[in-house]
Amino acid sequence: MDRLSAYGMFVQVARSGSFTGAARQLGQPPQAITRGIAALEAHLGVRLFQRSTRAVSLTTEGAGLLPRIERLLGDLAESERAATGMLAEPRGELAITAPVAFGQLHVVPVVGELLALHPELDVRLMLIDRNVRLIEEGIDLAVRIGALEDSTLRARRIGTVREVIVASPAYLARQGVPGSPADLAGHDLIASTGPRGAGEWRMIGPSGQTGARRRLRVNSVAAAIEAAEAGVGLANFLSYQVANALAAGRLVEVLRTEPIEPIPVNLVFDPARAASAGTRAFIEAMVRRAARGGWG
């Protein structure tokens, strides 16, 4: 048995959830995958998968082995790329995902710089306000804002962002400027119901504790910003989301002195792709951009 190939089959079956899916990804007949997994299980003396007519799932032993094997194969791939000189020049396609506003403001400029520097590099950029499943959706690297879930993915922290409470000058002239969370009683709030937008209000808790009323709930950060600029109410955003509106004076930050823990910004990637020259070039470029002034 080629143990290294069998471990590769094991990882692919675990990721795809089926022997046929793994065979398709690896370009091998399903029977070869079945034989490879059976030989590996015999070698280890444990069952790695629970098999049924409809699905394949990891056993307890298989789930415990998977992250170790993924790290092992990732380290091996990194060593091979380094040995063959593939780290020297980024080439091929690099797939990146990021939240919409963050991507427009910070990722697109970095991608533009990389494409100008590396003529053999192509980039596929997915801007979307949800956590994309990297392996299943063929993504090399993701920008993640907020606490990270436990996973076998690697992460590189590149800074933090703040939560900010803002309103239009017209709204504040009409309703007054709150000096503390207690002053929010009687104010109107705008809440975004997206994955991580203007809806959490960590500083003040549920609106019932302050007397503030959520006058508008919207599932789009961009729409919530427009509503805030139109004077609908106070809104809570991440700092980069309203950096342009604050700079232009369309919105004004309030309650800035209230302590709120910063929110981490991480680059997350599959260990098997860590040695990719494109991945490394993007990470280094984002680190440089963070050092020049952070994320707004």
Q: Would you give the distance in Å from CA 129 to the centre of its chain?
A: 9
Same fold, 92-157+263-291 and 163-254: yes
**Domain 163-254, CATH number (from 3.60.20.10, 3.90.550.10, 2.60.40.10, 3.40.190.10):** 3.40.190.10
pLDDT tier, 38 (very low <50, low <70, confident <90, very high otherwise): very high
17-37 pLDDT, tens per residue?
A: 899 889 988 899 999 999 999
- In sequence order, what are the beta bridge partners of 266? 144, 157
**pLDDT value for 180:** 86
| CATH code given to domain 3-83 | 1.10.10.10
Highest mean pLDDT (candidates 147-151, 158-162, 258-262)? 158-162
Q: Indicate the domain borders of the chain.
A: 3-83, 92-157+263-291, 163-254
Residue 101 tokens read as 């506003």
Angle 287-288-292 (CA atoms, 0-180°, nearest 5)? 115
Q: Is 246 exposed, middle or buried (0-12, 13-18, 19+ CB in 10 A)?
A: middle
Q: Following DSSP, what letter does each residue of 165-205 receive, concatenated?
A: EEE-HHHHHHH---SSGGGGTT-EEEEE-STTSS---TTT-
Q: Locate tokens 């190939």: which residue?
A: 5
64-106 pLDDT, tens per residue?
A: 999 989 888 888 877 776 666 555 788 889 999 999 989 999 9
Mean pLDDT across the chain = 87
CB 60 within 8 Å of CB 48: no
Q: Would you give the distance in Å from CA 159 to the centre of its chain?
A: 14
Strands (E), the chain: 49-51, 56-58, 92-98, 121-127, 141-145, 154-161, 163-167, 188-192, 213-218, 234-238, 252-254, 263-269
Helix, strand or coil, per DSSP, at residue 1:
coil
In 3D space, the residue among 165, 140, 135 whose CA is nearest the CA of residue 66 turns out to be 135
Q: Would you give the distance in Å from CA 201 to the centre of its chain?
A: 21
Q: Following DSSP, what letter does each residue of 107-129 receive, concatenated?
A: IHHHHHHHHHH-TTEEEEEEE-S
pTM over 0.85: no
**Domain 92-157+263-291, CATH number (from 3.40.630.30, 3.40.50.300, 3.40.190.10, 3.40.50.920):** 3.40.190.10
Q: Locate tokens 């609106």: which residue?
A: 207
C-alpha torsion angle, residues 180, 183, 185, 191 (rounded to 10): -40
